[in-house]
Chain A
Amino acid sequence: MIISGILITLYILYLFALLVKAISVKKEKERTSQSARAVDPRLGFLGFMGFAGFLGFWTYSIDKTIFPFIFFMFFGFFGFFYEGKMSHTFMDERYRENKLKAHMTANKTAFAIIFFALLILGQGKLMGNLEYTLIALIIVIALSIALEIFLGEYLLYCYDNDEQFEESEE
């Protein structure tokens, strides 16, 4: 029993080390890469999975299951439409600056929404019911994460393509 417990713990630690290593390799690759990663814009259709979040209202009424609400996060995958359009873009200093700005704006927006939602819903009195409060909180957090994922890519696309119609060799 003790040996199996130790072995399982070691295995979990090994998996964790592999995960950390994979993440660091990916980060290093991103840092040294000269062009944006290639993404198929059709992956954006995964965003429609976000509508599965509405199933939560049905499952909650049947057996109080609230798990489907987290599917609202998938709305963020609509951002792949924009990331796909930016595939293989050469990442010069202006691109990197725009990317940083876009992701900072997205993070700030999502953080502000979560902050105010926690402030309001955290009192637990808004709906007079703790279960409803929990559901509202899950929905708000899931949608905020979706917004953060989507907005980062959308804003980057907008910043990088503003005044596109004026682009011409003069």
Chain B
Amino acid sequence: MSVPDFECRLKKYRLLKDLTQEQLAAQVGVRRETIMRLEKAQYNPSLKLAIHISRVVGAPIEEIFVFK
């Protein structure tokens, strides 16, 4: 289920906030597997989830999810 020309920099911002995948998943209301696939750019999140993640890690959406 990979998304072509899609880069996700979530891991970088998550580590900057010193969050584990599990903690981030709990905060945004998804499973750890979903965060893992997001970080590998294997899952295209909904706008709602993207905004939620952006708020939790404190970075703009367009910097976390980069569509080339």
List the interface of chain A (C-beta within 8 A of B): 89-90, 92-95, 159-160, 162-163, 166-167, 169-170
Contact = CB atoms under 8 A, between A and B. Distances in A.
A93 B30 contact: yes
B1 interface: yes
A162 B46 CA distance: 20
B37 interface: yes
A121 to B, nearest CB: 37
A95 B34 CA distance: 9
28 contacts: A89-B31, A90-B31, A92-B29, A92-B30, A92-B31, A92-B34, A93-B30, A93-B34, A93-B45, A93-B46, A93-B48, A94-B30, A94-B31, A94-B33, A94-B34, A94-B37, A94-B43, A95-B31, A160-B33, A162-B1, A167-B33, A167-B36, A169-B20, A169-B21, A169-B22, A169-B32, A170-B11, A170-B21
Say which size band chain B's interface belongs to. 20 to 34
A170 B20 CA distance: 9
A95 B25 CA distance: 14
A163 to B, nearest CB: 8
B49 A93 contact: yes
Contacts of B42: 163
A130 to B, nearest CB: 47
